[in-house]
Amino acid sequence: MDFALSEELSMVRDMSRDFAENHLMPLATQHDREAKIDASVFPAMAELGLWGLTVPESYGGAGMSNLAMCLVLEEINRACASTGVTLSVHASLVCAPINKWGTEAQKQAWLPKLASGEVLGAYSLSEAVSGSDAAALVATGTRDGNDWVLNGTKLWVTTGEQAGLFVVYVRTDPTVSKAKGITAFLLPRDTPGFQVGKKEKKTGIRGSSTNELVLNNVRLGPESVLGEVGRGFNIAMDTLDGGRIGIASQAVGIGRACLEAATKYAKEREQFGQAIANFQAVQWKLADMSTHLDAARFLVHNAAWLRDTGQEVGRMASQAKLMASKTANFCADECLQIHGGAGYTDDFHVERLFRDARITEIYEGATDVQRIVIARHLLRS
Ligand code: CAA
């Protein structure tokens, strides 16, 4: 077993680290305070090919692996988690399912635009009544001749403000059991009857947009169905297996930023006549943060490798997300504790890291949902 990164993967990691340190880090506080990502960021990511990193070369992407995307996401999220989630959702929740289930026409229509960053993608599963119980969604898709007419209100849609394409899940058959009657649709932003609604004011990842979507007699042709009619829930779940690896990478990136900030501060800050790094209580915190982070990263990379090699990944993706999101919050808490009162002010970016880490235990399946998925795999005969 060889744990070394290939030359190509090392280059991708170094390129994204360079971009993250030089372009994103100086902007991350601004993104948080102004609750929007600076206009320079997305075009710069397009120039580096990040939006299409995992899109096949035949559709204008770089055709790289999920593991490559994990390396990129760790670097980007270490600098700015708002930018990180935007990329993760675009790649894993939009490009990936179109590539996997899309018709040739859908791939031709959307993947080149998504890969170039001309169009950003969003994923819309949740509603007011369906969060963890995703199959309980009530927005509808009704047949009208060959067309479908969509109605309802969707919630918690990352990148709602900027996205040009939404993968929307609605109930198309109310007569069958709840997970079986759902269909996925590709919904372009400019479709009549479709409106991006209220923007949420969030605790963390404030630079990324999170919106309500309103579907008011939105008419779509049959060519807009992604995958089979009635198989949308399976698509949503399989897609989230990949998405959870992305969010786990985000968590590792945030956790690493916490460890780095805590180590730096511990060496600089003096109390009782010496640097607080000399105290064993502080050293143990740093040691535990580092150990948890490396364990989480191994789980994430293993899950990505399973996905890349076409193996079953549900349990490992959930284990990676569970471990990495817990670790991010552990690291953020210890980092803030090492900073003391200073860390509780906005003079230091660690208070942002503390707020940004929290969402990794909530979105793309809360911690408790990851435990459900893991336990079901263990218990199934
Ligand atoms: N891949 C493919 N199919 C799957 C699957 C997977 N990983 N997991 C389940 N399925 C299939 C099942 O096989 C079953 O299919 P059949 O009916 O054909 O047999 C069907 O889906 C129903 O499965 P379950 O009975 O297990 O479904 P459930 O209702 O018990 O729900 C759950 C399971 C794991 C709790 C699920 O509801 C879940 O993951 N909830 C969390 C939702 C979530 O993560 N939301 C994230 C919102 S998006 C977001 O946050 C993105 C963002 O913007 C950042």
Ligand 1 atom closest to the Cα of residue 234 is 3
Q: Give phi and psi for 36, each to the nearest 5.
A: -160, 150
**Cα 108 to averaged position of ligand 1 atoms, centre (Å):** 28
Residue 149, beta-bridge partner list: 142, 219
Residue 167, beta-bridge partner list: 123, 186
pLDDT value for 125 = 98
The response to whether residue 365 sits with its C-beta less than 6 Å from ligand 1 reads: yes
Query: Which structure tokens are listed for 215?
Result: 């579907």
The response to whether residue 126 sits with its C-beta less than 6 Å from ligand 1 reads: yes
**CB 132 within 8 Å of CB 168:** no
The response to whether residue 170 sits with its C-beta less than 6 Å from ligand 1 reads: no
Q: What is the pTM of this model?
A: 0.98
Q: 310 CB contacts (<8 Å, ≥6 apart)?
A: none
pLDDT value for 2 = 87
Using only C-alpha atoms, the chain has a radius of gyration, in whole angstroms, of 21
The DSSP call for residue 329 is H
Ligand 1 atom closest to the Cα of residue 244 is 44
**CB 318 within 8 Å of CB 365:** yes
CA–CA distance, 184 with 102 (Å, rounded to integer) = 11
**Cα 99 to averaged position of ligand 1 atoms, centre (Å):** 20
Q: How far is CA 65 from CA 5, 85, 210, in A?
A: 12, 18, 27
pLDDT value for 128 = 98
Query: Which structure tokens are listed for 311?
Result: 């193996």
Q: 3 CB contacts (<8 Å, ≥6 apart)?
A: none
Instruction: Enumerate domains of the chain plus CATH numbers.
Output: 7-120 (1.10.540.10), 122-230 (2.40.110.10), 234-380 (1.20.140.10)
Query: Which structure tokens are listed for 348?
Result: 């230091």
Nearest to 17 by CA among 86, 65, 76: 76
The response to whether residue 134 sits with its C-beta less than 6 Å from ligand 1 reads: yes
Instruction: Please work out, in degrees rounded to the nearest 5, the angle formed at the alpha carbon of residue 122 by the alpha carbons of 199 and 167.
Output: 120
Query: Which structure tokens are listed for 371?
Result: 């435990």
**CB 356 within 8 Å of CB 205:** yes
pLDDT value for 290 = 99
pLDDT value for 62 = 98
pLDDT value for 1 = 83
Going by alpha carbons, the residue nearest to atom 26 of ligand 1 is 373
The response to whether residue 366 sits with its C-beta less than 6 Å from ligand 1 reads: no
Q: How far is CA 111 from CA 54, 60, 104, 381, in A?
A: 11, 7, 10, 39
Ligand 1 atom closest to the Cα of residue 243 is 51
From 155, 237, 325, give the residue whose CB has the most ligand 1 atoms within 8 Å, as the site to mutate: 237
From 182, 233, 363, 376, give the residue whose CB has the most ligand 1 atoms within 8 Å, as the site to mutate: 233
CA–CA distance, 103 with 114 (Å, rounded to integer) = 16
**Cα 237 to averaged position of ligand 1 atoms, centre (Å):** 4
Nearest to 171 by CA among 131, 230, 234: 230
C-beta atoms surrounding 338 within 10 Å? 24
Per-residue tens of pLDDT for the chain, all 381 residues: 889 999 999 999 999 999 999 999 999 999 999 999 999 999 999 999 999 999 999 999 999 999 999 999 999 999 999 999 999 999 999 999 999 999 999 999 999 999 999 999 999 999 999 999 999 999 999 999 999 999 999 999 999 999 999 999 999 999 998 999 999 999 999 999 999 999 999 999 999 999 999 999 999 999 999 999 999 999 999 999 999 999 999 999 999 999 999 999 999 999 999 999 999 999 999 999 999 999 999 999 999 999 999 999 999 999 999 999 999 999 999 999 999 999 999 999 999 999 999 999 999 999 999 999 999 999 996
Tell me the HSE value of 304 on the side-chain side, using a 13 A CA sphere: 24
Q: Give phi and psi for 53, each to the nearest 5.
A: -55, -40
Give the number of residues written for the chain.
Answer: 381
CA–CA distance, 302 with 320 (Å, rounded to integer) = 9
> Which residues are marked as active site?
364
